[in-house]
Amino acid sequence: MKSLEDLKKIREEMQQKINIRTGDENRTRVVVGMATCGIAAGARPVLAALVDEVSRRKLQQVTVTQTGCIGVCRLEPIIEVLEPGKEKVTYVKVTEEKVKKIVSEHLANGRVVEEYTIGAAE
């Protein structure tokens, strides 16, 4: 059972870690399109998987955020990776499986997964 006691434990662990975060300008942002089109195409499990994977791999420099319609509804779910000083990478028709690879290859090791990008899909 998940209890309020478990939550207090999480709080104590977090309170120790929270001050040693990377500054905003050095963070990588991963943006997920969560408008009606994205949600209908499966963006919710994709977002949940992203949050889980990023936390499991302790990628402290990565922030996962949500946005509205990214603009190409037929290619949803879409996620964008914005790394400081690099060109934006757009991944399309993302699934929970693809998320695992995007996190392990791109976010953890800096290697763009070309086959999932919008360039490869068009």
Partner 1 sequence: MKELALNILDIAQNSIAAGANQIAIAVRESVAADRLTISVKDNGCGMEPEFLAKVTDPFTTTRKTRKVGMGIPLLKMEAEMSGGELRIESEKGKGTSLTACFKRSHIDRPPLGDVAGTFMVLIQGAPNLEFTYTRETDRGAFQFSTAQVRALLDGVPLSEPDVLAWIRGYVEEGESGVL
- 74 in contact with partner 1 (CB under 8 A): no
- Give, as ranges, the residues between 3 and 22 that touch partner 1 (CB under 8 A): 4, 6-8, 10-11, 13-15, 18
Residue of 22, 66, 88, 97 interacting with partner 1 (CB under 8 A):
66
- Residues with Cβ within 8 Å of 28's Cβ and at least 6 positions away in sequence, in order, are 61, 62, 63, 81, 82, 83, 84, 107
Q: CA-to-CA distance for 47 and 96, rounded, in angstroms?
A: 8
- CB nearer to partner 1: give 13 or 97: 13
Among 35, 72, 118, 121, binds partner 1 (CB under 8 A): 35
